Amino acid sequence: MDTDNRPEVVLGVGAGIAAYKVCELLRRFTETGHSVQVVPTADALRFVGEPTWAALSGRPVATGVWDSVHEVPHVRIGRRAGLVLVAPATADLLAKAAGGLADDLLTNTLLTARCPILFAPAMHTEMWEHAATRANVAALRSRGAVVLEPAVGRLTGADTGPGRLPEPEAIFAAAGRVLARGDLPADLTGRHVLVTAGGTREPLDPVRYLGNRSSGRQGYALAATALARGARVSLISANVALPDPAGAEVTRVGSTRELRDAALARSGAADAVVMAAAVADFRPAETAVGKIKKTGEGPAPIELLENPDILLELAAGRSRPDQVVVGFAAETDNVLENGRAKLERKGCDLLVVNQVGEGRAFGTEDNQAVVLGADGSAVEIPNGPKEGLADRVWDLVGQRLRDAGGVPRASGT
């Protein structure tokens, strides 16, 4: 593997029980060819010892500002890094970073780094929800740091709630998106975006449903790239079997009406709403209580009702004039003609139009589209990874947010 162009990663380890999970995160970086400098706090070594970090990274562990003083480690380490990732980022570490304190090697490194900085918090729910922590998170985000939302789940002891360290694979994926942006700014910092993903299902009976082939990959790519660009992301996931993007606030839904309720409840606080989910247009008028059986006389007709038009409703009822609303249109023929008609009918700012069919869009790793704008613009996005299409969509959304002059409203909450 050619690792010459792989940026160096500084892995800061905080003093939390979740430090043991970071060993797996370190392994993922080294196996993909990254040189990793581990910088644990003194108390972090109470959870995972120095020999473990040295063995996994293949290099000495940097532990103190007085070690190898002639090399000026408190300045050198931060300067040469391509990414500083802190995991677990404890409440204490977040407070020190927000306050600009520099009482150990890791906090010195955070002050001297000129590369992207990514925090993966982990702490008890009460600490995460405390006003002081929320203010510290908001301050760090306002300066361009990417602070992931912690996962919800089992914590130390019998406690459960928000504050769990996201899984290593999810943090690694988030770090990869930040690294892919290189020196590009986190241009969605301070923005709150709402993304829908997947495909809704309308039950016919307890075992059957009307649905579609959407895997949710494009919506999840939109969520992941927005996180890497500094946004706070609310993700509404409809029947998706993918790992949650680290840092997103995920709400799971099944049917179109459930998705509508969740979107309306969350859209008011969002600077941008991106409706990437494939929403069922119709639902059965009645859902059978038991499994529908064969009778030998052919299936009985199924009466369908129209589902609510969520995109139309969100565009018409947007919470403020500078909110950007983006729709997706999957078409099988007359792609641009149908797309332009839908854009006008829905009243959204942008419509991402792509052709679907066998081997196209649904369930694939790649996608291509034309993004139509209410201002008459049309931007063609060639076939490529769905993350690339997602980044291009956020470019267009970000430009409209800046043109509208709206003040970012996302904070640490």
Give yes or no for a contact between 260 and 310, defined as CB atoms under 8 angstroms apart.
yes
Torsion, Cα of 92, 93, 99, 102 (10° steps): 120
SS3 state at 224: helix
User: Between β-strands 350-355 and 366-373, what pairing exists: parallel, antiparallel or unpaired?
Assistant: antiparallel
Distance CA 111, CA 30 (A): 25
Straight-line distance from the first to the last Cα atom of the chain, in angstroms, rounded to the nearest whole number: 42
Task: Enter the tokens of residue 356.
Answer: 């679907």
Write the DSSP assignment of 55-89 as a string of letters: HHHTSPPP--TTTTGGG-HHHHHHHH-SEEEEEEE
Contacts of 361 (CB under 8 A, 6+ apart): 218, 330, 354, 355, 367
Distance CA 174, CA 172 (A): 5
Give yes or no for a contact between 145 and 227, defined as CB atoms under 8 angstroms apart.
no
Which residues on neighbouring strands pair with residue 86, listed in sequence order?
Answer: 12, 119
Task: Look up 212 and say whether it is catalytic.
Answer: yes
Distance CA 123, CA 275 (A): 32
Contacts of 353 (CB under 8 A, 6+ apart): 328, 329, 331, 335, 336, 338, 339, 342, 369, 370, 371, 372
Q: Which of 5, 108, 136, 212 is catalytic?
A: 212
Quick one: angle between helices 168-181 and 217-228, nearest 10? Answer: 70
Chain centre distance of CA 307: 28
Positions annotated as catalytic residues are: 212
